[in-house]
A and B are shown apart, each in its own frame.
Chain A
């Protein structure tokens, strides 16, 4: 009777650690853990010894020393008297700004190309295929170098914009002229764009560790407020529509709420554009967008867009033909079908690979080294490392920062992905 429960209760033997599946996984894990700990200890020990041999200390105090070098593109105030840490921040922001614009342009271009590749226009379809294949199969480094050479070799020098007295007398035009109503100047050094200026700015607020530009934050707050109010208006309109069946006219309210406060604030602050003008060797005034930035952004966008186009195409093809036919049967026009039926469904297939493309793009910004764009790698991992000779500290910190950026992006995008995916009920 008791046969089933009569399993022999064998005493624990050492060999069971290897042969008994109940214990084996623990054995393996402990062995792995010990090996891992030993490897880490070995590496640490070596590092300590190496530091001692070279007479170096592992400390980050150099971050608070004077950097001494200049950075061409700075989104926050920085001079060569600032600290290495400040230089790090400038570099980090430069990395992020390229990644930001790169992702936006790559997505726009990628979606357009992906859709156009499926177009029934033979010429456009072929051109897009050629574009995608060429960009996907040639190293990114080449595109970066090439865009940089193109930008700096084909654009005019600042002096070509100059109108000398003799030329004015003879009524000659200068060799180059500014674009967009004389507000933007593209030279072979960079693009000069108008800068927003305020006569009555709100000044800055010093928080000790960083300074806040109050004007900027005030404008941001007003815009955010307007958007919030606008959403309230739309929500109440929807509520009224559901209750009564009539939708009140809201477009003028929306426009008023969205734009009026911002415009009023700008007028109150004395907003005007500072147009770049040729002074001395260069254009002065306005904002100079260096070609290293432009070339890097263009190359990254074009390269990543080729991959995104393939993702979009695959996503659209994954939606069954029946969906399109059903939409046509409902009388939707092709572009409405695309935007209302196909794309929303394709999005679920598209987003996961899209996330990894965004991550790739962000990591690839480090190739700015090829055009000497001073991003995080250029400042912390480049000049700071070089001038202080602290490669261990600089490299570890840089990897940590890149890792954090990647993890933040991927977790944000994963959150978004979750909100788009079909809810399994």
Chain B
């Protein structure tokens, strides 16, 4: 067959032709556009509408951005510069205001010479979170602590930190990196110490007050350890709590005062009314979420509990807090809390706001954690029971570690929501970055009548922080996924 064929045909190609390029309509940008922009009439219409919208936005906003003014002393000066450079009637952004007042948007009225303290506290926050998130993972711990060290080197230098504090903080973080190589588990101690350290860094004053408060916790633990073998777990814990409470009530302040007289050491104290801007938002947000986590866990367990009264109270609390707007809770902090406390007690409005924000976050976290608990297969509970673990051991060793891990992304989004909601504190007279600081800036005669610039500046910072956190939590979700489905 093939022979005859070979005879009748004069030429037989024995190699393949090189593949011809696809037709113009099927390749490169044209193909991409056909497939992704103009595949159906509906898509064509959508693309056109989208392009028109983008065009309208750009033509409306671009001149304003291009005519930005960075050097001016007042809004009217800005307007003059814009009019001079781009002609009468042109509009332009006046970023000079941000240039002059950016520190107020970030720190409020925190003394400028002390800016290194919040900066340092923020860096150490990351260092304190790392041992929790990456327990025992040397590589990740080193990466995080290393970035914190770099961050501190740069920002502390920019914030003109006193040399001693600079050296000490770098030494601490380098020490932590070293410890991470040898005994990463020990880093948790830093996490436990961090709240007191952060408080001291931000508010200043004598170092002995936070030390003495922490000593109360040490006392609690010591009494518990000593007493529990003798009188049992629960009475031991009660005795520990009692001793600690007595310590805080009666010995705390005198001890701190005596120590301060003997060994005076402290930072310049900063009043909480000087807190403002993003510093205030972060302080309220982070404290709220930290303290609400244990309360949220207890509420979630209470809601899951078989005990009727405990369950009813938990459900009542959660539903009440979730049923009213945060703003009413803030007004409660500012208007009502004083009614519920013994006559004559007053304390800081920031502290009152933090308490109510903590309740608010706790109710939301309780629901998040309840979701995590519900996601656990029934077998886990049964397995814990079969091992003979009592309730708290089962929760601590089996249930909560898994439930919390499942809940991390939702906890992060609760935090993002809370962080955004901290802007509402402006309505009780605190200086949040969005409304409080902006209002103060606008009360200055030079900047009266400036509207877009502060909103855009503050909105951009919020976006960067929240977007970054949500992306990081998605990454974390992938990383923490240990089931092999």
* Residues of B close to A142: CB separation below 8 A: 423, 434, 455, 458-459, 462
Docked Cα-Cα span, A124 to B39, in Å, equals 13
B207 to chain A, nearest CB (A): 34
Which of A159-167, A260-268, A395-403 faces chain B? A395-403
Is the beta-carbon distance between B343 and A137 smaller than 8 angstroms? Answer: no
Number of chain B residues close to chain A: CB under 8 A: 58
A207 within 8 A of B: no
Report B421-438 residues with CB < 8 Å from chain A CB: 421, 423-424, 426-427, 434-435
Q: In the bound complex, what is the Cα–Cα distance between A127 and B240 (angstroms)?
A: 58
Write the A353-381 contact mask toward B (1 if CB under 8 angstroms, else 0): 00000010001111101100000010001
Query: Is B35 among interface residues, defined by CB-CB distance under 8 A?
Result: yes
Cβ of B341 under 8 Å from chain A: yes
Residues of A near B416 (CB, < 8 A) are 137
B421 proximity list for chain A (CB < 8 A): 139
The CA-CA distance from A139 to B432 in the complex, in Å, is: 12
Q: How long is the Cα–Cα vector from A266 to B470 in the complex, in angstroms?
A: 54
| A43 contacts B by Cβ under 8 Å | yes
Which residues from 24 to 72 on chain A have a C-beta closer than 8 Å to any C-beta of chain B? 25, 28-29, 32-33, 36, 43, 46-47, 49-51, 53
Q: Which of A114-122, A213-221, A323-331, A414-422 forms part of the interface with chain B?
A: A114-122
As a 0/1 sequence over residues 38 to 55 of chain B, the CB contacts with chain A under 8 angstroms (1 = contact) are 010001001100110110
| CB atoms of A50 and B455 under 8 A apart | no
* Given A25-B306, A121-B37, A138 contacting B459 (CB threshold 8 A): yes
Query: Is B459 a contact of A33 with CB atoms below 8 Å?
Result: no
Greatest chain B CB density within 10 A among A127, A138, A402 is at A138
Contact B435–A370 (Cβ < 8 Å):
yes
A36–B309 alpha-carbon span in the complex (Å): 10
Of residues A124, A141, A359, A399, which shows the largest number of chain B Cβ atoms within 10 Å of its Cβ?
A141
Residue of A nearest to B311 (CB): A29
In whole angstroms, how far apart are the Cα atoms of A32 and B311 in the complex? 11
For the complex, what is the distance from the CA of A134 to the CA of B342, rounded to whole Å?
Answer: 45
With an 8 Å Cβ cutoff, the count of chain A residues facing the other chain is: 55
- Among B331, B335, B434, the one with the most A-chain Cβ atoms within 10 Å of its Cβ is B331
Choose among A121, A139, A370 the residue that contacts B47 (Cβ–Cβ < 8 A).
Answer: A121
Asked whether B435 lies within 8 Å of A120 as measured between CB atoms, the reply is: no
Q: How far is the CA of A47 from the CA of B455 in the complex (A)?
A: 41
Cα–Cα distance between A367 and B331 once the two chains are bound (Å)? 12
A391 in the interface, Cβ–Cβ < 8 Å? yes
**Residue of A whose beta carbon sits closest to that of B417:** A360
By CB atoms of chain B within 10 A, which of A43, A121, A392, A406 has the most?
A121
Which residue of the partner chain, among B51, B332, B434, B470, contacts A141 with CB atoms under 8 Å? B434
The answer to whether B319 has its CB under 8 Å from any CB of chain A is yes
Q: Contact between B36 and A403 (Cβ–Cβ < 8 Å)?
A: no
Given contacts A46-B342, A123-B37, A137-B416, whether A399 and B466 have CB atoms under 8 Å apart is no
B340 within 8 A of A: yes
From residue 413 to 464 of chain B, which have CB atoms closer than 8 A to chain A?
416, 420-421, 423-424, 426-427, 434-435, 451-452, 455, 458-459, 462-463
Closest to B319 in A: A407
Interface string of A115-151 (1 = CB under 8 A from B): 0100111111001000001101111111001100100
Q: Verify if A76 is at the interface (C-beta below 8 Å from B).
A: no
Task: Report the stretch among B220-228, B241-249, B321-329 that lies at the interface.
Answer: B321-329
Tell me if A381 and B328 are in contact (CB < 8 A): yes
Known: A142-B459, A402-B323, A407-B323. A395 touches B328 (CB 8 A): yes
| Chain B: minimal CB distance from A142 (Å) | 5
In the complex, chain B residues 303-328 whose Cβ is within 8 Å of any chain A Cβ: 306-310, 313, 319-320, 322-328
Q: Which residues of B contact A197 (CB under 8 A)?
A: none
Closest A residue to B341 by beta carbon equals: A46
Complex CA gap A127/B434 in Å reads: 26
Residues of B within 8 A of A121 (CB): 36-37, 39, 43, 46-47, 50
| Chain B, Cβ-Cβ closest to A19 | B232
Q: Is the interface of B mostly helix, strand, loop or mixed?
A: helix
> B435 — which chain A residues lie within 8 A by C-beta?
141, 145, 370
Contact of B423 among A25, A133, A139, A146 (CB under 8 A): A139
CA distance A18 to B306 in the complex (A): 17
- Chain B residue with the shortest CB-CB distance to A18: B234
Whether A50 and B308, one on each chain, are in contact in the complex, defined by CB atoms closer than 8 angstroms, is no
Rounded to whole Å, the gap between the CB of B131 and the closest CB of chain A is 28
Q: What are the residues of chain A within 8 A of B342 when measuring CB–CB? A: 46, 49
- Asked if B328 and A366 sit within 8 Å, CB to CB, the answer is yes
- Residue in A137, A365, A392 with the greatest tally of chain B CB atoms within 10 Å: A137
Look across to chain B and name the residue whose beta carbon is closest to the beta carbon of A122: B36
B323 and A403 form a contact (CB under 8 A):
yes
Report the separation of the CA atoms of residues A49 and B345 in the bound assembly, to the nearest whole angstrom: 12
User: In the complex the two chains form, is B343's CB within 8 Å of A49's CB?
Assistant: yes
Interface 1/0 per residue, A76-96 and B, CB below 8 Å: 000000000000000000000
Indicate whether B143 reaches chain A with its CB closer than 8 angstroms. no
| Residue contact A123 to B47, C-beta cutoff 8 Å | yes
* Residue from B232, B306, B327 in contact with A369 in the complex, judged by beta carbons closer than 8 Å: B327
A377-B327 contact given A121-B36, A137-B416, CB 8 Å threshold? yes
Q: How far is the CB of B442 from chain A (nearest CB, A)?
A: 12
Does residue B336 face the partner (Cβ distance < 8 Å to A)?
A: yes
Interface centre among B36, B46, B313, B327 (most CB of A within 10 A): B327
Indicate whether A395 sits within 8 Å of B331 (C-beta atoms), given known contacts A138-B466, A406-B323. Answer: yes
Q: Is the CB of B36 within 8 A of A120?
A: yes
The answer to whether B455 touches A146, judged by C-beta atoms less than 8 angstroms apart, is: yes
On chain A, the residues within 8 Å of B338 by CB distance are 50
Is there a chain A Cβ closer than 8 Å to B467's Cβ?
yes
B11 is an interface residue with CB less than 8 A from chain A: no
Task: State the Cβ distance, A323 to closest chain B Cβ, in Å.
Answer: 21
Query: CA–CA, A406 to B322, complex, Å?
Result: 9
A122 and B232 alpha carbons, distance in the complex (Å) = 66
CB distance from B449 to the nearest CB of A (A): 11
Residue in B closest to A396 when the chains form the complex, CB atoms: B336
Q: A120-B39, A139-B462, A406-B323 are in contact. Are A28 and B307 (CB under 8 A)?
A: yes
4 tightest A-B contacts by CB?
A122-B36, A137-B466, A406-B323, A363-B325
12 further A-B contacts with Cβ under 8 Å, apart from A366-B328, A398-B328, are A49-B342, A138-B462, A140-B420, A141-B435, A142-B459, A149-B451, A369-B427, A377-B328, A395-B336, A402-B323, A403-B323, A407-B319
Chain A residues engaging chain B, CB cutoff 8 angstroms = 18, 25, 28-29, 32-33, 36, 43, 46-47, 49-51, 53, 116, 119-124, 127, 133-134, 136-142, 145-146, 149, 153, 359, 363-367, 369-370, 377, 381, 385, 391-392, 395, 398-399, 402-403, 406-407
Selected A-B contacts with CB under 8 Å, 27 pairs: A29-B308, A32-B307, A43-B340, A50-B338, A51-B339, A121-B36, A121-B37, A121-B47, A123-B50, A123-B51, A124-B50, A136-B466, A139-B420, A142-B423, A142-B434, A142-B459, A146-B455, A149-B451, A359-B322, A364-B325, A366-B325, A391-B336, A392-B336, A395-B328, A403-B320, A403-B323, A407-B319
